[in-house]
Structure 1
Amino acid sequence: MDTPEIEPTTEPPMQHGSRGASDPVLSRLAREEPLTWWNPPVDSARGLAASGVDPALVDDAAARLERFRPWIAATFPETAPARGLIESPLDEAGEWQRVSGIRTGRVLLKRDDILPVSGSIKARGGVHEVLQYAETLAVRHGLLPEPPRPGPDYTVFGAEPFRRLMREHRVVVGSTGNLGLSIGIIAAALELRATVHMSVHAQQWKKDLLRSRGVEVVEHSTDYTEAVAAGRVAAEADESVHFVDDEHSLSLFAGYAVAGARVARQLHDLGVAADAEHPLYVYLPCGIGGAPGGVAYGLKREFGDAVHCVFVEPTRAPCMLLGVYTGRHDGISVAELGLDTRTVADGLAVGRASGFVGRAVEGLLAGYVTCTDEAMLSQVRSLHGAEGMVVEPSAAAALDALRRVAHEGAGENPMKVPDGATHLAWLTGGGMLPDHVRAGYLAGRSDNRRSRDRRPHHRSLED
């Protein structure tokens, strides 16, 4: 049965420091009601300038990924046909569009659920940051010239001098799961040692897979934010350790942002226009914010005002909407609303958003949608029935948001979605799901689900 939906709202953002449990948007969030909130429009050029992100970082990331393509192709056979390019297809979803009752526009799926290396969007940023660290080490120790000066084919990273250097260093990251997978897999391939700090609530199969690759997994009884903090503290004490900071990393952000230019090429190849008459709506599942934030930045660079990026979060962990709406960013946690982040969408189970990302992209986003666990699991089943694909609930959140915005666009949606719009759901993960987990999702089950009658009462933000 469809979850009751809250009508879209354009309530203005609260001023920094003003807060109250009586605020209508905060009250809805505290009650775990699905919500659509539209950001006041901001000119894309102004939004990009206000982001504080140097666009040269994205170009540098794209160039680095190009340099490493020979090594990637040699190391990960699934990338060999694309000569080491880690990229996912852009697929039509005509049958899902039909069964979802979306009668206008066009629906596309960005298939990061089958992105090579780790089967999730996190391979974009995670792979880039680890490769940047490896390249920096090689230059520092005289094994490579300083880029962009011509150097050897990067397959030399498989040679013993490079492997020996990597074995002397370690990468550390805090993760809900998918970032840890991408970091751990690429680090192990380079022979870097790796440690991933995770919450005990993270998916067990992801921990098991990491350990099978020789990655150290440290579990914490607290939430994701505390796992990140523990990883940061552990890394600070050792100069041979590089901490991948999911909250503040420009390297991760730039790696994700490279996707913007690649999507532009894919749309061109499909003959899909993105302009004022044919706007592009992109639905991006959001946890701490790094991956969707980087992608949104990259898309805005390419399409400007023709693209409308929508972040999608669980009703039990709407940390980015909460941070942006209140103006407090990483200074507020969903715990202040009485929410505990226990959601079927484990990749989005984050209580406190990245302040860096929130401030960088708040002027680039069209809006935010929150989804219930039931709605996400319903979309897992719907996509499987219509298109034969199985994705994680985190990815299916994008489908629920797309469906709602497309239907609301025919009514009172303040965005006034035109019939010629293209809707793109970014399927962020699911390609590495074990069979028993797939079966559980299709049956509507998850170990991370909890009964609503155990939901804590929300506290007043004035307490």
Structure 2
Amino acid sequence: MTQAPTARQLPGTHLSVQLEDIAEAQELLRGVIVDTPMEHSRALGRQVGATVHLKAENLQRAGSFKVRGAYVRMSRLSEEEKTRGVVAASAGNHAQGVALAAKKLGIKATIYMPRGVALPKLAATRDHGAEVVLHGSNVDEALAEAQRSATETGAVFIHPFNNTDVVAGQGTIGLEILQQQPDVDTVIMGIGGGGLLAGCAVALKQEAARLGRQIRIIGVQAENAAAYPPSLAADAVVPLDAVRTIADGIAVGRPGEIPFEIIKELVDDVVTVSEDAIARAIIFLLERSKLVVEPAGAVSVAALMEGKLHDLGVDPKSVVAVLSGGNIDPMLMLRVIQHGLSAADRFLTVRMMLKDRPGELAIISKIIADTDANVIGVDHSRIGGQLSMGDVSIEINMETKGKEHSALVLNSLRSVGYEPVIVH
């Protein structure tokens, strides 16, 4: 019979956050947060070749996991610190988490947000009672101003990820995963600064070891905001010059030192996904799981859909993908849906030249109708730098049923002499 490991034999016992810290954080959070559901995804399981469950943290209070770490951090402030208030910076999820925690604890909160922040996130933060100051054009500029304000006013700065209490709070998701899905052998989630992944890595690795089991942990970054792969390769925090991704919740150019030390020791793999893959994952979750998930929250599913487990040589039996948030701006959702449909060959836009004569558009429409595609928009122009007298440029937007159907539409147009060009 295998003996359970002693405390000293647990993975990462020298690290700054331990299993007992996360267990204490879980007690602090009772009655404050909800235990978010674990949704079984048969459709995703068929793609992966394993049982797949989705940890729906997009259904958490304030719409993301961030309230966990914010509340744990702020609940442990001294009474004197609480009277000074707190200050934070965020483009959305951390802002709402801090604002909600401050409201529950009776602490004054000032949140710095970039001027271009999505209006729903701005309104939600204010609705929780926080004072919002718009500053800078990005989160880094808002963060610098928030830190300056904390120094000047004496308010306590609440870092979104580089703090042991915050990491412990986020790690409570790991304990919930084991309680809800005891047979899990692979857990995959997104990484920004690293607080969520670090906390869950401690919880999952140490609790699994205590139970005499092993769990593989995989982090996912957007490929245009991937600071962890070069940092892990260098064994030191390596900041990026720039980040650009629709996944604003993980658009972090510099890993936190505290999460980095944990992740480099306990996390098995870090992979990246493209913007197209993220968009396709959002649509998949909408259609197949009926879940609204923001881009940062969908990267775990994007990695599964892209076959990243297979690329790593991982053959799991029970997978949990963490959906870390659901705070998506409706205008971004509109663009993501269109982009995602296009990336999945379900939205096709073509441009071509026609002769300017009666009935030409009707011919085009019939060809498309005969292929069972659905035209949803037409842009018809007689004037342009490349147009000759008697020519017309036409751009057609249509719904298709996938790659093979799109090819059928294009081939049908070409077979009668038209030269459609796909517009991306």
CA distance in 1, matches of 2:187, 2:101: 28
Return the match for 1:193 from 108, 120, 123: 108
Equivalent residue runs for 1:414-453 within 5 Å: 414=312, 416-418=313-315, 421-430=317-326, 432-433=327-328, 435-444=330-339
State the shift of 1:194 in Å: 1.0
Q: Secondary structure at the match of 1:306?
A: coil
Q: Is contact 2:19-2:207 (8 Å) kept?
A: no
Where do residues 56-455 of structure 1 align in structure 2 (5 Å cutoff)? 56-66=20-30, 69=31, 72=32, 85-98=33-46, 101-102=47-48, 104-115=49-60, 117-133=61-77, 136-137=78-79, 168-221=83-136, 223-239=138-154, 241-268=155-182, 273-274=183-184, 280-304=185-209, 306-329=214-237, 332-335=238-241, 340-405=242-307, 409=310, 413-414=311-312, 416-418=313-315, 421-430=317-326, 432-433=327-328, 435-444=330-339
Take 2:161 and 2:170, find their aligned partners in 1: how far apart are those partners? 14
2:118 and 2:329 in contact (8 A); partners too: no
- Structure 1 pair 49–189 and aligned structure 2 pair: CA distance change class (3 A): closer
For 1:119, the aligned partner's letter is G
Mapped contact 1:64–1:132 kept (Cα < 8 A) = no
Cα shift at 1:253: 0.8
Deviations along 1:435-454, one digit per CA (max 9) or x if unpaired, are: 55544432338xxxxxxxxx
Change (3 A) 1:106 1:387: same
User: For residues 346-395 of structure 1, what are the alpha-carbon distances to aligned partners after superposition, in whole Å with 9 as ceiling and x for unaligned?
Assistant: 10111111122111221111111111111101111122122222211111
Pairwise CA distance, 1:193: 1.5
Deviating more after overlay: 295-304 vs 44-53: 44-53
Aligned length: 330
Q: Work out whether 1:52 is the aligned partner of 2:10.
A: no
SS at match of 2:252: coil
Greater share of strand: 2
Give the equivalent residue in structure 1 for 2:4.
none
Question: After alignment, is 348-357 or 221-230 more displaced?
Answer: 221-230
- C-alpha deviation, 1:179, in angstroms: 0.9
For 2:119, the aligned partner's letter is Q
Give CA-to-partner distance per residue, 1:411-443, whole Å, 9 cap, x none: xx45x323x52121100111x446555444323
Q: Secondary structure at the residue paired with 2:271?
A: strand
For structure 1, the 5+ residue unaligned runs are 1-43, 73-84, 142-165, 275-279, 446-463
Give the Cα–Cα distance (whole angstroms) in 2 for the partners of residues 444 and 316 of structure 1: 17
Q: TM-score, normalised by structure 1?
A: 0.65
- Equivalent residue of 1:429, what SS? coil
Output the amino acid matched with 1:219: L
**SS of the counterpart of 2:64?**
coil
Q: Which structure is richer in relative contact order (CA contacts within 8 A, separation 6 or more)? A: 1
Deviation at 1:189, TM superposition (A): 3.8
Bigger radius of gyration among the two: 2
In structure 1, C-alpha distance between the alignment counterparts of 2:118 and 2:329, rounded to whole Å: 11
Which SS does the other structure have where 1:110 is aligned?
strand
> What percentage of residue pairs aligned between the two structures are identical?
23
**CA RMSD across the alignment:** 2.5
> Is the 8 Å Cα contact of residues 111 and 131 (structure 2) preserved in structure 1?
yes
Distance in 2, matches of 1:247 and 1:109, equals 23
Q: Which amino acid aligns with 1:442?
A: I
Q: Deviations over 1:26-53 (max 9, x none)?
A: xxxxxxxxxxxxxxxxxx9574124332
- Give the aligned residue type for 2:163: S
